[in-house]
Structure formats: C-alpha cells, structure tokens
A and B are shown apart, each in its own frame.
Chain A
C-alpha cells in the first residue's frame, strides 16, 4: 500500500501545514482600529475629533506635570524657577504635606499616633470586609475603636479602658437576659454599660489627663485629611446599624415606634446636611448652659450619622420590600420570633440586595465630610481654602492643591466602589 501511494502521487505532505498568520489587514491592531475606530466614515470623523481633543488635554496637562516644581518655599520663588514655562507648583504639597494630612494644630511630634491608628484600621477592617479571613481577627475589630481613640486623642488610658469595660459588661448582661426576650437583653445591656460608665467616670481622678502617658490632644486640633477619614469611618460604621434599626422600626407594627422612625427619617431627609452642621456648631451653643459645651467633633459626628442613617434606612427598606412575602411567612411558620426571623432570614437577604445603595451612600457621605469646612473645622478642604491659600507664600495656588484633594478622595471612593463590586460578585445577589 505504501508503495503504490508513494508512486502514484507526486507529493504527499507528511505533516500538517503550520497555520500562516492572517493577512495584515485583517488582524492585530489594524483590524481592531478598523473595527472599533474607523468602521464607518462618520465614526472615523468622530475618532479623529476625539483624538484631537485628547491631544489638546494631554498637551496641556503633561508639560504642566513634567515641569512641576518641587522644593521651593513660596509661589513667587516657584514662578522664578519656572521662568514663564508652564508648570505646576507642587512645592506647596511637599511644604504643607503635614498640614494637608493632619491639620495645622496637631502636635507634629505626635503624628505617629494617628498614622499608627490608620494602619491598625486596615487590620480591623479586614475581617469585616473579607469573610474568608479567620473569625478570630474580629477581636482586633472589636478593640480597634478604643485603641484608635486612645492613640488619636491621647489623655488618660482610663477613658478607653472604662469605655471598653462598659461595653463588655453590657454584652454579658445582654447574653444573660437575651434568653428571656431580645428587648430585655438589649435594654438591660445598654443600662448596665451606662451604670459602669457613670460609676467609673467618678473614679477617674480629676487631673488624669495631665499626667497621662500619651499627651492629650483636644478635638479642635484635629484636621486635614485625617479629619475626613475619621468622620467618614466613624459615621459610616455608626450609621449602618442605626439605619437598619430605623428601617425595621419603620416597618414595625407598633405605632409609636413606627411613627418615631417615620418622623425622624422624613425630617432628616428633608433638611440639608449643611443646616444640620450649622445647628451642631452654632445653635447647640445656645441650648447648653454657658461655659459647658459638648465636643465639636462629637456634635458633628452625631449630625452626620443621623443624616446618613436616615438615607441608609430608606435603602434598606427598599431591600426589605424587595423580599417576597413568602420569606416572612416562612419565618413565621418555622416558629421564629421577630428578632430571630430578622436576624436569620430577612436581614441577610435584604442587606445583600441593599449593598449597592449602602455603598452609594457611604461614598457620598465620605465626600460630604468636606462640608465641615464651612463650620470652621479644618478638614482637607478647609485647610486648603483657609490657612494655605491665605498664607502670603501660597496665595494663588489653586490647581495643585485642589487637584491633590481630588486625587485623595478619588483613591478612597474608587476603592470603596471596587470593593462593593467584588462583594456583589461574591454574594451573587442577582440569583442567576
């Protein structure tokens, strides 16, 4: 057989022909450009116009970035160095870096304290954000508020220890009473915590702050991006539980609770945040007796938390409404009481649906923290608009400073939004 075939046919290829590359016109970047950029004459025109605009923008920005000046000490000096060439004056960022991050009154030798708290924050946030990490890490999360408070504000160590003690005692009372009913456990726990705080508060010596190991820093010395981060983190983490409570309260069958929640939500949503901040800063001073005042930071935290809690409550109510009635009825038919039904069946599903909305509000809230600059707190934007632009050295530097602020906020907000998309994929909320 082999002989006949070898003789009767002039040439037999013994191996497969290697595939030749497709013609130049129909492959690679040329094809991609033809398909996507120049598929019709109209698209070709659009592509050229768009390319021209991109060129214009880059031609403006790139030299400005590349010629940027670092290391001068004033705008005038910066302009001398530039000598008429277009270029950014980035020296303001390096010279005022600490002020932009920590504000101008936080003692410079103590910068390591908020920086350390910031690093610990990642360790504390990790087990909450990524469910696959070992659950034991939640201990860090539970301790973080007290450690961070101690690091940032300093003062006597008894304050955070006592606060922690109150929480622990409250938790144990809750565990003891919750077997009877959830309400008894909850209110019993809160009452026990307050009893511990009040008794303990009397025991802390008067001058404990002066003799403390970490120097005390008053709230008004906080500033810069640190203040934005603190307000953002504290308010988001407080307003989610409060928002859940409000959303459940609004759906409650008990008229008193229902109406309190409805009025609270509708009132807060009907008032601009800036009005609430003015109330926190200006009006409350009239209500307190002269000479006493609550800490401004605390007042602002309460107002922002109330504001975002009202919005989050509405988002979660949307999630609750999206659940089929059958889920509620299934919980009832299993004989679960209300807290159990909510905790085990309703909320896990409702919260999953609400993630995009909650993240949306968290991002908005983080950006809204810059509003505190109008009540003369020196957050990042307040630092830029107030002290830095008002100094004789840097008056007139706008693009560099505001661009830097935009960059910082973009990094954080984009990170939050990417996390939420990852979380949605993990939880696969679309039931497909």
Chain B
C-alpha cells in the first residue's frame, strides 16, 4: 500500500503544483475555486447537511465571495479547520480566507499578521440560568456556581465581571462545550456561560428550552468576522466589499427576490452603483461589473442570510440585537459605495 499511495500522492501533488505566487485574487480566478476556511461544525454558522452541502451563516460569506469573484456561488472548496489549525491554514496559504466565527482582537490582527475585513456577527459572552432559579439579571447571581470552559477568554471575562460588580461566584471548570451542556442540565451548576450565540444554539437543543432563560447582560465584546492574510490588500478589498455589499443591500432593500428587477435600473444611484448599472466599482476591484449583484443573489442580503441560518424563524432563534442595521439601532454600518 505504501508505495502506491506514495506514488499516487506524488502524481497528484505534481498536477496540483501549478499555482503561481501571484496575488490571491488572480490565484483564485486561475484555480476557478475559492478555498474558504470554515469550522468543523458549529450550529447555524457552518455545518454540512445530510447531503454533504455546507450551510450556515459563515458559509454564506464564503459563497458570496465566490459568487463575486468567480460568478458561481458553488465554486467553493470548504476547508474545515479547528480552533488550533485555523491560523496556520490561513498563514500557510492553504486557504484564501477564513470565515470561522473568529474574534477580531488586537494580537490576532497585529501579531499574527491577519487583516480582519469587517464584522459579520457581533457576539458577546452571556449567561443562561434555569427559569425556576428566578433570576432576571446576572447581578443577582451572588454565590452562584457557574459552568465555564477552561482556558478560554470567557473564563477571564467572567472573573472580571464578578469582581467589578463585587459579587462572588464558584466556578465549575469544564473541558468542552458538550460536557458543559450535560453538566448544566444535570444541575451541577446554577448558571452556564459562553458566547450568546452559543447559548442560544445550546438552549435550542434542550428538551424544554422554555425552562431556561438567557440573561440580558453581555459581559464581553466578541466581534466575529472574516479575515485574510496581511500583505494582499487587493484581495482584502474584495472580501471586505463583498461583506459590505451584503450589508448595504439590506439597508437599501435589495433582496434576492427583487434583485433582478432592481438590476434593470432604479432611481437610487447607490443601488445602481452596487449592482453595476452605473459607475465602474467592479472594474476598480478587478471584478466584473455585476460582482455585487451575484454576491447578493447567492444567498440574499445580510438580513436574509441571518434569518435563514440563525434568525428567529430557525431553531437557534437569535434576535438581531446588535446585528441590526444602524438605522434600526444596531451596529451594522457599511461605508458608502461611491
């Protein structure tokens, strides 16, 4: 077996070794496929279904970029990465972009040399407690036992929160998220804390989700967004403005349903510029004139992607909250297309 595998791998490697070290955009176009790093599976954000099709909120960003660059939302090679392998996969060039619920932090941006091109989900650490405990705020949790994953930033955030509010708690250290769910359900701790989106997804899997409440306090900032390598700004611009196009599309009312009608021309010049019927935005990016139209048509605008994967109509049932448009009191604010 060894020699045959070895030889097969040699030929495969030989055939694959035609990739020049040009810009990432040219590489992707030459390859005809976008290599997009995703998680190995996170409910609502990225997971393959029973047919092996990847779906989810982060996956939709990959598909939009593929549609913008290659004109085909299915021309994506999804490379599953774990929390430990994601950054090396991006740094070594195995993937072109990473859309894997990664928190934008100073050290990842500056020290690990990545460019976060924007934020597609504003997350934060929250608390979940059984309803019968009768707490309505995290500040009522004096003396509570808290299930928490060890070695994560959530552990540090928790300590900070309780200290600054001058209340005490007893941590129950736990290794994995799945274990934490079981411990919490078994009553080993009063409260379970992790990212708010994770709490919602976890609660959705409970037999009686109504018996548990997610407390309103959010004790940390976790802006999650797609990222690319430092040093290739043209490629960074493509990913950044594809994300912005999705966000602007929602603000301007462009949906996957009416996009064909809008592309015929409208009296809003910004819509026309995004959809490529006016101006030369696509050309400036090195893409076709209708790049944004294809990106939006791939999975809909930001709001449609949100609703379809993690919104209130799905089992995960996340409210828009901070992730509403700035016009609705949220934080989503795309720079103008001009």
Contacts and interface: CB of A to CB of B under 8 A. Distances in A.
Contacts of B7: 159, 162-163, 166, 197, 201
Interface string B177-190: 01001100000000
A340 interface: no
Interface string A152-163: 010100011011
Interface in A73-114: 75-76, 79, 95-96, 99, 104-105
B4 A149 contact: yes
Given A293-B13, A389-B41, A145 B80 contact: no
Interface stretch (A16-24, A62-70, A295-303): A295-303
Contacts of B94: 285, 293
Residue with the highest number of chain A CB atoms closer than 10 Å, among B1, B204, B205: B1
Given A76-B315, A145-B1, A166-B3, A292 B52 contact: no
Contacts of B13: 292-295
B10 interface: yes
B110 interface: no
Nearest to B205: A396
Given A163-B4, A389-B178, A209 B15 contact: yes
Contacts of A145: 1-4
Nearest to B82: A376
A418 B181 CA distance: 38
Nearest to B14: A201
A95 B52 contact: no
A131 interface: no
Contact of A375 (B21, B46, B85, B178): B85
A298 B52 contact: no
Interface string B78-92: 011110110011001
A373 B7 CA distance: 25
A391 interface: yes
A184 B206 CA distance: 68
A382 B39 CA distance: 12
B93 interface: yes
A99 B49 CA distance: 10
A246 B14 CA distance: 32
B50 A201 contact: no
Interface in B2-22: 2-21
B48 interface: yes
A294 B8 CA distance: 10
Nearest to A74: B315
Chain B's interface: helix, strand, loop or mixed, by majority? Answer: mixed
B12 A218 contact: yes
A291 interface: yes
B319 interface: no
B17 A386 contact: no
A391 B205 contact: no
Chain A's interface: helix, strand, loop or mixed, by majority? Answer: helix
A392 B315 contact: yes
A393 B47 CA distance: 11
A282 interface: yes
Interface in A367-387: 373-376, 378, 382, 385-387
Contacts, number: 164
A430 interface: no
B269 to A, nearest CB: 40
Contact of A387 (B3, B14, B15, B40): B40
A159 B92 contact: no
Nearest to B7: A163
A307 B52 CA distance: 33
A390 interface: yes
Contacts of B206: 396
B152 to A, nearest CB: 17
Given A281-B85, A376-B80, A389-B178, A234 B2 contact: yes
B134 to A, nearest CB: 25
A218 B93 CA distance: 19
Interface in A203-225: 204, 206, 209, 218-219
A199 to B, nearest CB: 12
A396 B13 CA distance: 40
Interface in B59-89: 79-82, 84-85, 88-89
Contact of B178 (A206, A219, A285, A398): A398
A281 B7 CA distance: 20
A6 B16 CA distance: 108
Nearest to A166: B3
B85 A159 contact: no
A346 B197 CA distance: 64
Residue with the highest number of chain B CB atoms closer than 10 Å, among A96, A149, A238: A149
Contacts of B172: none
A393 B46 CA distance: 13
A95 B49 CA distance: 11
A299 B238 CA distance: 34
Contacts of B81: 376
Contact of A96 (B14, B17, B18, B50): B50
A216 B259 CA distance: 38
Contact of A99 (B1, B15, B50, B314): B50
A38 to B, nearest CB: 37
Residue with the highest number of chain B CB atoms closer than 10 Å, among A79, A155, A286, A395: A395
A186 interface: no
Nearest to B1: A145
Interface in A260-280: 278
Contact of A95 (B8, B44, B50): B50
22 contacts: A104-B52, A105-B52, A148-B1, A149-B5, A160-B8, A162-B7, A197-B7, A234-B1, A285-B94, A291-B21, A294-B13, A298-B6, A374-B84, A386-B39, A387-B40, A387-B41, A387-B47, A390-B43, A391-B43, A391-B47, A392-B43, A396-B205
- For the complex of A and B, the 5 pairs showing the least CB-CB separation, nearest first, are A390-B41, A396-B205, A386-B41, A386-B40, A145-B1
Interface of B: 1-21, 39-44, 46-50, 52, 79-82, 84-85, 88-89, 92-94, 178, 181-182, 201, 204-207, 314-316
Interface of A: 75-76, 79, 95-96, 99, 104-105, 145-146, 148-149, 153, 155, 159-160, 162-164, 166-167, 193, 197, 201, 204, 206, 209, 218-219, 233-234, 237-238, 278, 281-282, 285-286, 290-295, 297-298, 301, 373-376, 378, 382, 385-393, 395-396, 398
Given A376-B81, A378-B40, A392-B204, 6 more contacts: A163-B8, A298-B9, A376-B85, A386-B47, A388-B41, A396-B206
